[in-house]
Chain A
Amino acid sequence: MPVRIQENDFDISAEITALRKGDPRVGAVVTFLGAVRDMNDGSKVKGMTLEHYPGMTEKALEDIISQAKTRWDIYHALVIHRVGPLLPEDQIVFVAVTSAHRGEAFAACEFMMDYLKTAAPFWKKEDTPEGARWVDSRVTDDAAMARWLKKS
């Protein structure tokens, strides 16, 4: 399964092993791991809850993978995103891409994360000392995505 939405934690070493197992064409694996920080917009973050849109989320992530496979010469791609309650230091998101050489995998992995940040229906609600608050989207995320649109 190239796309997984789950409450449970994941083991990135096991995921990387499984992703390239049995495929000796793979010469490069590039991964991104996102984690919960204890600080955001000047407030201490005690924890957060991630909400998503079941049904659309899976389609959006599958679309991200298929676009990456169209644009770059990659073999396998995996996206894992956690939902539900999370604490600082917890793993949130994992993207892994395999290819023959590193260049294609680096580009595809960065594209997938930038795309996910603007197009996959997840929302974070932070628990801070001032109370719970929904995280605002960042202009920098839109700018990161826009770079890929210009290049195509």
Chain B
Amino acid sequence: MKLELRFFASLREALGVSEESVTLPVAVKTIADLRAHLIERGQPWSEVLATGKVLRCALNHQMVDASTLLEDGAEVAFFPPVTGG
């Protein structure tokens, strides 16, 4: 499965990446799987995406939770809780 990843705000700065195309192993099926897969890259991913950190995730521009299934070709974004308004 291929995905377009996007990172925003403090995550973007800490990772030094705003967007990236990835091809995933078949075992990566959900948002939680993707997060674990990225954590396996080591620093800074393991710290920025660490399980204890409160993050939000969007799949094709819709806010989703960790159990949501990924879709081939989707745009997946990770970001901190929003602070607009």
Contacts and interface: CB of A to CB of B under 8 A. Distances in A.
Given A116-B84, A136-B81, 18 more contacts: A51-B8, A51-B9, A53-B77, A81-B84, A81-B85, A92-B85, A93-B85, A113-B85, A117-B82, A120-B82, A121-B8, A122-B84, A123-B8, A123-B10, A123-B84, A134-B9, A137-B82, A137-B83
Interface residues of B, number: 16
A118 interface: yes
B62 to A, nearest CB: 8
B69 interface: no
A137 to B, nearest CB: 3
A123 B85 contact: no
A53 B85 contact: no
Contacts of B58: 53, 56, 121
Interface string A46-75: 000011110110011000000000000000
Given A53-B8, A121-B58, A34 B80 contact: no
Task: Enumerate the 3 nearest inter-chain pairs by beta-carbon distance, A residue then B residue, closest first.
Answer: A122-B84, A137-B81, A123-B9
A125 interface: yes
24 contacts: A50-B84, A51-B8, A53-B6, A59-B61, A60-B61, A60-B63, A81-B85, A93-B85, A116-B84, A117-B82, A121-B58, A121-B77, A122-B83, A123-B8, A123-B9, A123-B10, A123-B82, A123-B83, A124-B83, A134-B80, A134-B83, A135-B83, A137-B80, A137-B82
